[in-house]
Structure 1
């Protein structure tokens, strides 16, 4: 498969010697910046489900680029990485832009005055608001009024946003002054069709805020597709209101509220609402619209099956029809994953029990390893799956038509021993398999091995002619799994979450 245009636009830092041997792979400032943008750290370790601490100390590469007069290059890198949706979380990109806006580089300074709210940041924020569809923006400002202490009113004021049209000017006025002033200002004006639509929508949102009539609230929800965040807390005490919300609730939100809605009898066995939801969860168009990943669905399914929350006292009896719908949705959602087009080896360590639980989830490490394997086996044409332990390695037959249970059984059928994570790499080298990415999955953060994993990987690079990469994933690990070698092709993942797939994808495409 040819690399995408956005992949080709990123420079790489491959180094080879005169004999064509692939030597140490440099971790450049650009790469360290992209790592920071991706998961909030310039290092070679990603810890799943852990918010990165963002500070100047974590952004050394960005500071180096700014000090070297490469500020414009850095800003373009940040912009491109964000536009390509390469990041696990958006916070590092925002932090990086803010840091750029405070730097004194002459060329940047001309574009980024006024401290953190310099011209570049103001422009970026203004462009976002002005780039939105008016009705969509009206929904956003009424649904999410503030986050992390910032309100739309604060952001619009500090960014000096000048609305691009009358409908956006109306929304800005609503945010700054409230509904009463907007109503007075526009009541007697000859308004455009778009302005009239926005006025009607805002009027509905204000109306529902003051309504104590359950029937009226339900009618407004259904007619104008209002969401939970636009209602009062008292409204959410009604089962009928919840059922009205459920019809248009985003599937991602539905997945994480299944337990709560079942516990509150909003979803009941055989009820029309339950049947309608199950049908929606099994519809490929709905799954594609929600961009749901199989791993997300599996996490939600296992949590729902568990019958109680991780915190609090909420308990529920999982509904069989919902579990069946989740199972079907899980398999259908593999079509949402866009192939990278690289050669992969996914190797599962069976040296220790795979009955442990991945931190922060309800998944056993055996099931987690199976679903990770399935993601690559079903979406990447050139994928080989191995099960290994000390002195034992077996090529597994994981096909696209196998179930999760069948895949799990296939992975754990060979006897265990001590862990030797070099075996999969050595196997590929000895059998003439040129591999772009090795993904090593294990429970055990401490390994015994016959050779260094780094040296084994370098040997494979020299033999295969590929700039092969290695992802060492300790599924139960909470610390560093491999010494930092400064080799760009090596990354460690501690635990596992949806963000880990994003990181592996970025590494495979030579971005981080």
Structure 2
């Protein structure tokens, strides 16, 4: 079985292995793979063995190395693809990576990064975040505004239709201490249309100055007049005490809750009007609020509307709703209270079920392969100490169980188990609801980490497996056999050319997958395209 005896995970198989944060020996993933992990998983929560600050610096260094190695253009391409396709749960990692490319010394990479700015920063919130990251990188307010950034920011304002821009600047007036006025002052944005000029004047000087300077006998474009009406109604909605008038303006312009006075945010009638055209992301975030005021209650028309939207795959994809965002929303909604503040509600079961369904629909649809799968969840202590992309209420091991459910519901021929320093029954099945899955996995005891356990178990029990999938942070260290060697021995004993897919659940640089073995693949956990990547690898399509 072993020519010279098995090598424990606490010792290297060869000189290409490195010591992970737990003291076991593994391989390092390629720099692009590390980038993909960072984009999908972030580094905001750190890991059991590595602080978030250390993990963040490691990922920044990785991106810098890619740029210095002449691969900056690939980095920008991946940033845009991950953003546009909605493969990531949060925008911060994308923005951090984009800022590094935009502020680098390579002109072509810098140009590509700034060209990508409007594609990645689609709303003012992300634009403000981008600018804030640049300021921090440069070390002072207003110090990062070179010509390239000024042109890119100018395009952000000018490439939007006037009505779209008017909506965004009245909804997102400020974020993180930044305002549109700050951006215009530092960026010296020059409007390219009459209507855009009106909006920029409104930002810089306010509504009173706009109305004072307007001459009634002047002729203006249709867009200008449309924006003028919109801004006037937005100002009215912001200060009006007339609820019926506010509701009529919401219906007319599809205003968001940010457009109206806070005194109406306890009104069921106002929220009913807001809900009619509420964007998907906002609706998911407001489920607790809508339930607390009893707009969402069993059997109501609004509850049916919300549930239908949550199950609408086209809406989910168009809004780029990420599965982890839905999982987090479901977890919090079931609790009946917000993570912060005093808001409480009684969860509506129909909404919980719709969120459960939405989770699976948010992944890219994938057809079954017909292969034999073993899905193995790392439930060791380290997996309970790292979150997923800053989502505070979901730990890596609960998130990995939810991910495994997607494959369990797709592939009929599968085995599911959990492991730490020994293998155990995961206690979950494809018919369970997500909150049941999370609760079940949360109650499994912790231990050391031995990622070889699934292959050793399958070999011992003579279970025929085509594809092993291990969901782990790769901090394996406990066992007497390396996972890659356990797979090779399984192949030989069972005469099956089995594959190993390692779903990385933290943004570190480690993997148990041998990069020299074409039958092993490392992918970033919680990429919404993950099931499709698994399918293609299982069928030799990659």
- Aligned ranges for residues 89-168 of structure 1 at < 5 Å? 89-105=90-106, 116-168=144-196
Corresponding residue for residue 304 of structure 1: 333
Structure-2 separation of matches of 1:503 and 1:51:
26
- Greater CA drift, 149-158 or 113-122: 113-122
1:327 aligns with 2:353: yes
Corresponding residue for residue 384 of structure 1: 414
Q: How far does residue 201 in structure 1 lie from its aligned partner after superposition?
A: 1.4
Corresponding residue for residue 438 of structure 1: 469
Corresponding residue for residue 205 of structure 2: 177
**3-state SS in 1 of match to 2:286:** helix
Contact 2:455–2:487 under 8 Å retained in 1: yes
Corresponding residue for residue 456 of structure 1: 486
Q: How far does residue 232 in structure 1 lie from its aligned partner after superposition?
A: 1.9
Structure-2 separation of matches of 1:427 and 1:453:
12
Corresponding residue for residue 232 of structure 2: 203
Corresponding residue for residue 230 of structure 1: 259
Corresponding residue for residue 21 of structure 1: none
1:314 aligns with 2:343: yes
Corresponding residue for residue 4 of structure 2: none
Structure-2 separation of matches of 1:193 and 1:53:
54
Q: How far does residue 452 in structure 1 lie from its aligned partner after superposition?
A: 2.4
**3-state SS in 2 of match to 1:500:** coil
Aligned length: 463
Contact 2:364–2:528 under 8 Å retained in 1: no
Change (3 A) 1:261 1:27: closer
Change (3 A) 1:297 1:102: closer
Contact 1:141–1:152 under 8 Å retained in 2: yes
Structure-1 separation of matches of 2:55 and 2:249:
42
Contact 1:388–1:423 under 8 Å retained in 2: no
Structure-1 separation of matches of 2:72 and 2:251:
49
* Structure 2: unaligned runs, 5 residues or longer: 1-15, 17-25, 115-137, 538-542
Work out which of the residue numbers 220, 239, 248 in structure 1 matches 2:268.
239
Q: How far does residue 445 in structure 1 lie from its aligned partner after superposition?
A: 8.2
Q: Provide, for residues 190-239 of structure 1, a one-character-per-residue CA deviation record: whole Å limited to 9, x for no partner.
A: 23333322222111101112311111111111222111111122232433
Work out which of the residue numbers 447, 453, 471 in structure 1 matches 2:503.
471
Q: How far does residue 431 in structure 1 lie from its aligned partner after superposition?
A: 5.6
Contact 2:66–2:72 under 8 Å retained in 1: yes
Q: How far does residue 241 in structure 1 lie from its aligned partner after superposition?
A: 2.1
Q: TM-score, length-normalised on structure 2?
A: 0.65
Q: CA RMSD in A?
A: 5.3
Contact 1:98–1:121 under 8 Å retained in 2: no
Contact 1:142–1:205 under 8 Å retained in 2: yes
Corresponding residue for residue 60 of structure 2: 59
* Structure 1: unaligned runs, 5 residues or longer: 1-15, 17-23, 494-498
Change (3 A) 1:181 1:369: same
**3-state SS in 2 of match to 1:153:** helix
Contact 2:417–2:424 under 8 Å retained in 1: yes
**3-state SS in 1 of match to 2:346:** coil
1:500 aligns with 2:523: no
Structure-1 separation of matches of 2:94 and 2:384:
37
Contact 2:238–2:260 under 8 Å retained in 1: yes
Contact 2:157–2:165 under 8 Å retained in 1: yes
Contact 1:434–1:464 under 8 Å retained in 2: yes
**3-state SS in 2 of match to 1:116:** coil
Q: How far does residue 88 in structure 1 lie from its aligned partner after superposition?
A: 3.9
Change (3 A) 1:88 1:174: same
Contact 2:407–2:531 under 8 Å retained in 1: no
Change (3 A) 1:308 1:237: closer
Contact 1:281–1:329 under 8 Å retained in 2: yes
Structure-2 separation of matches of 1:367 and 1:74:
30
Contact 1:281–1:287 under 8 Å retained in 2: yes
- Greater CA drift, 388-397 or 283-292: 388-397
Q: Provide, for residues 306-356 of structure 1, a one-character-per-residue CA deviation record: whole Å limited to 9, x for no partner.
A: 3333444433333xxx3124314522653342146787642246999x999
Structure-1 separation of matches of 2:229 and 2:244:
19
Change (3 A) 1:51 1:156: farther
Structure-2 separation of matches of 1:253 and 1:468:
39
**3-state SS in 1 of match to 2:503:** strand
Contact 2:356–2:434 under 8 Å retained in 1: no
Corresponding residue for residue 215 of structure 1: 244
Corresponding residue for residue 291 of structure 2: 262
**3-state SS in 2 of match to 1:203:** helix
Structure-1 separation of matches of 2:275 and 2:83:
31
Q: How far does residue 142 in structure 1 lie from its aligned partner after superposition?
A: 0.6
Q: Greater RCO between the two (CA within 8 Å, min separation 6)?
A: 2
**3-state SS in 1 of match to 2:144:** helix
Structure-1 separation of matches of 2:177 and 2:300:
40
Structure-2 separation of matches of 1:308 and 1:109:
44
**3-state SS in 1 of match to 2:469:** strand
Structure-2 separation of matches of 1:203 and 1:28:
54
